[in-house]
Amino acid sequence: VRDSRLQTRKAEESLNIEVVNADFIQRNLGGSLMKTLERLPGIKTIGIGSGQSKPLIRGLGFNSVVVVDRGIKHEGQQWGADHGLEIDQFAAGEVELIKGAASFAYGSDAIGGAINIKPATLPSPNSFGGSIDLIGKTNNNLHGTSANLFARNKNWFYDARATYQNYGDYRVPTDKVYVYDYEVKLANNYLRNTAGRETGLHLNTGYVGEKFRSIFYLSNSFNKSGFFANAHGLEPRRVDEALHDASDRDILMPSQEVNHFKIINKSEINLAKHKLAVELGYQRNFRQEFSQYVNHGYMPPNYPTNLGIPENLEREFDKQVYSINLNDKIALGKHELAIGTNTEYQNNKINGWTFLVPAFKQFTSGAFVYDKFKLNENFVLVHCNQLS
């Protein structure tokens, strides 16, 4: 029944869309959500080690692809090539991938496409249950688990999940690589300092009635991982290889720590011909990158003691985002009309002895009208106006 609904969803959508469910994710489990979805045509990734990756849709990525998580646009530091997607794939219930321009539906950033991540299916009334998944992989000696517990009476429910993964250095089928034309020897075929660990905590809870529902989604994702030691900085040979090769599971500098906290509330009211929805969201993406100080260009030869910044803190990004979406879906005969507004405020702070983007504050707002007219079983007309 569920697969039939997914096929119907694809057939009724005018966009080029792929829809996958949790079963697909479980069967094709990769090191990250995007590595799992990479099996679909037109979907590629930029890998950051073995545990993180960022999406590419038909060659476009970064700020050209929008990721929507439970109705709210996911905001990390998506402009960076070494900044992955901070979303736990075990907590995803259904994923829609829109390939091609989808700006009218997901905002001006979605010129390459969009990834819409939906929550797990609500528990059935008067139910209680759970599951435990165990994960193991041989290439990087990954081990982990994801545990889920849920319950519901007639109207109130909760659905909680905790995920933990720990992995060692990534192994490649060669004993040397080249960085800036320099030959770098690899001990036992391991890429030095690519180990990492990640945790994810999730709680979905709320009230579900016949005509009204209000659900809170809380999540906190933390990741600590190393960067390939010989490919960070200007000189790939200035690396203490003996220190890095002593263990394939330690995380030394250069490294990064990322914590993404998110709270979302979605409330819906069903009237005779209207479906009103309000989505409120707050998220904080806190990222720190650590590296030993190396001077280049006009930087002083020794680290200034009066700078007031920790010597090993290369970069820090602290982004807080507030979002509100209002929309109304109206059924008018063969017309499916949707009108709504989207508002978002961002405050991005920086720290560290280098920077790539400045601190900034940004306010965006827009409104849209979307009409889908079904001519017959085979033809659908879509019209959209957008103001932002």
Q: Please tell me the predicted confidence (pLDDT) of residue 376.
A: 77
Quick check: 337 and 384 in contact, CB under 8 A?
A: no
- Tell me the per-residue pLDDT of 255-304, one tens digit each, with 9 for 90 and over: 999 999 999 999 999 998 899 999 999 999 999 999 988 877 778 888 88
Instruction: Choose the weakest-confidence range: 55-59, 105-109, 166-170, 171-175.
Output: 105-109
| Phi–psi pair at 334, nearest 5 degrees | -85, 0
Q: Around Cβ 151, how many Cβ atoms within 10 Å? A: 16
User: Under CATH, domain 2-387 is a member of which superfamily?
Assistant: TonB-dependent receptor, beta-barrel domain (2.40.170.20)
Which of 9 and 176 is assigned the larger pLDDT? Answer: 176
Q: Please tell me the predicted confidence (pLDDT) of residue 370.
A: 84
Residue 196 has pLDDT above 80, yes or no: yes
- Tell me the per-residue pLDDT of 76-131, one tens digit each, with 9 for 90 and over: 877 777 788 899 999 999 999 988 777 667 777 888 889 999 999 999 999 999 99
Which amino acid belongs to residue 303? Answer: Y
- Tell me the per-residue pLDDT of 328-370, one tens digit each, with 9 for 90 and over: 999 888 888 899 999 999 999 999 998 888 999 999 998 988 8
Measured distance CA(5)–CA(312) in Å, rounded: 52
Q: Please tell me the predicted confidence (pLDDT) of residue 307.
A: 86
Q: How confident is the model at residue 8 (pLDDT cuts 50, 70, 90)?
A: low
Q: Please tell me the predicted confidence (pLDDT) of residue 109.
A: 80
Domain boundaries, the chain: 2-387
The number of angstroms, rounded, from the C-alpha of 78 to the middle of its chain's C-alpha atoms is 9
Closest CA to 204 of 213, 192, 212: 213
- Tell me the per-residue pLDDT of 39-77, one tens digit each, with 9 for 90 and over: 888 888 887 777 778 888 888 878 888 899 999 999 987
Which of 224 and 45 is assigned the larger pLDDT? Answer: 224
Q: Please tell me the predicted confidence (pLDDT) of residue 57.
A: 86
Closest CA to 123 of 215, 200, 212, 8: 215
Which of 181 and 172 is assigned the larger pLDDT? Answer: 172
What average pLDDT does the chain have?
88
Q: Please tell me the predicted confidence (pLDDT) of residue 77.
A: 78
Q: Please tell me the predicted confidence (pLDDT) of residue 13.
A: 60
Residue 11 has pLDDT above 60, yes or no: no
pTM of the model: 0.90
As a whole number of Å, the end-to-end CA separation of the chain is 39
Q: Please tell me the predicted confidence (pLDDT) of residue 9.
A: 58
Q: 250-276 as b/e, with b when 16 or more CB fall inside 10 Å? A: ebbbbbbebbbbbbbbbbbeeeeeeeb
Q: Please tell me the predicted confidence (pLDDT) of residue 372.
A: 84
Q: Please tell me the predicted confidence (pLDDT) of residue 374.
A: 80
